[in-house]
């Protein structure tokens, strides 16, 4: 638990230092938030439904953070808005029976810190911020010193509404391979149109915002990479140097 909290707190502190506003978001949202962010229709089988109230548990804090400004008209001077959402996440993992079900890789509840950026209708700015949030995620992994790789997703591998997307995969010795731990995605105005999220430009014209998001860190999946890459011959786990101040010790012993 302490190692997980150290990773989450380190990530939040780093993003806040970069100008992101932290948000502790609700775990329960209405269906409009899921429709607006593009998870519905199509993702209902993977989400937990609270039938009595027709509410849903979130699979990522991207949903409530992006929907925070639903039906608003922002000022261009307010943009870009940069948020880091912190929450528990819930996924049924429907259709994955028998696939990666042992251990910590595929679980129904996990913690996540998500970067969300809302910006004006500007492709060049969107591409630059996409690079920035990708770089932020890479820096976090670099700081913790876990081997990883970045994969550019082709159009056929991207879900509905995605304009540009990469996955980050960390080396997991127990799998003898890399496992996906992070993703970064730009949507242009796809989510904003569904959420009716707009802004007024400097000429007074109302336009749709652009949105993007990134998994800054997700546990316990990232814990697999940390524990396995830092485990010593005697079974103890060496604490990554940047996390020692959060842990108060250099080794975790059994």
Catalytic residues: 91, 106, 180, 183, 221
Q: At what angle do helices 221-230 and 2-17 cross, to 10 degrees?
A: 110
> How far is Cα 35 from Cα 175, in angstroms, rounded to an integer?
35
Q: Are strands 198-200 and 73-75 parallel, antiparallel or unpaired?
A: parallel
Alpha-carbon distance of 191 to 210, in angstroms, equals 8
Say if residue 146 is exposed, middle or buried (CB neighbours under 10 Å; 0-12, 13-18, 19+).
Answer: buried
Secondary structure of residue 201 in the 3-state scheme: coil
Q: Rounded to an integer, what is the distance from CA 180 to the centroid of its chain? A: 12
Tokens encoding 194 = 């569904």
Comparing CA positions, the residue from 154, 150, 146 lying closest to residue 180 is 150
Nearest partner of 197 among 36, 83, 61, 77, judged by Cα: 36
How many CB atoms lie under 10 A from the CB of residue 159?
12
Closest CA to 34 of 9, 57, 5: 57
Q: Which two tokens stand for residue 190?
A: 């796809």
> Are the C-beta atoms of 197 and 114 separated by less than 8 Å?
no
């Amino acid at each position: 638990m302490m190692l997980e909290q150290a990773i989450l707190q380190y990530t939040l502190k780093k993003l806040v230092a970069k100008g992101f506003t932290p948000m502790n978001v609700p775990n329960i949202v209405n269906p409009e938030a899921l429709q607006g962010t593009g998870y519905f229709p199509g993702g209902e089988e993977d989400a937990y439904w609270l039938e009595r109230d027709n509410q849903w548990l979130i699979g990522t804090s991207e949903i409530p953070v992006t929907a925070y400004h639903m039906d608003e008209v922002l000022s261009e001077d307010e943009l870009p808005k940069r948020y880091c959402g912190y929450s528990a996440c819930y996924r049924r993992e429907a259709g994955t029976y028998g696939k990666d079900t042992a251990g910590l890789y595929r679980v129904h509840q996990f913690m996540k810190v998500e970067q969300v950026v809302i910006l004006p209708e500007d492709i060049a700015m969107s591409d630059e911020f996409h690079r920035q949030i990708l770089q932020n995620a890479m820096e976090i992994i670099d700081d913790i010193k876990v081997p990883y790789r970045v994969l550019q997703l082709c159009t056929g591998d991207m879900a509905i509404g995605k304009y540009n997307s990469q996955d980050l995969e960390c080396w997991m010795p127990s799998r003898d391979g890399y496992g996906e731990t992070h993703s970064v995605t730009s949507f242009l105005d796809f989510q904003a149109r569904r959420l009716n999220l707009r802004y007024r430009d400097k000429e007074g014209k109302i336009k749709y915002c652009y949105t993007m998001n990134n998994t800054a860190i997700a546990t316990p999946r990232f814990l697999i990479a940390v524990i396995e890459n830092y485990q010593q011959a005697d079974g103890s786990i060496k604490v990554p140097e940047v996390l020692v101040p959060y842990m108060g010790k250099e080794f975790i012993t059994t």
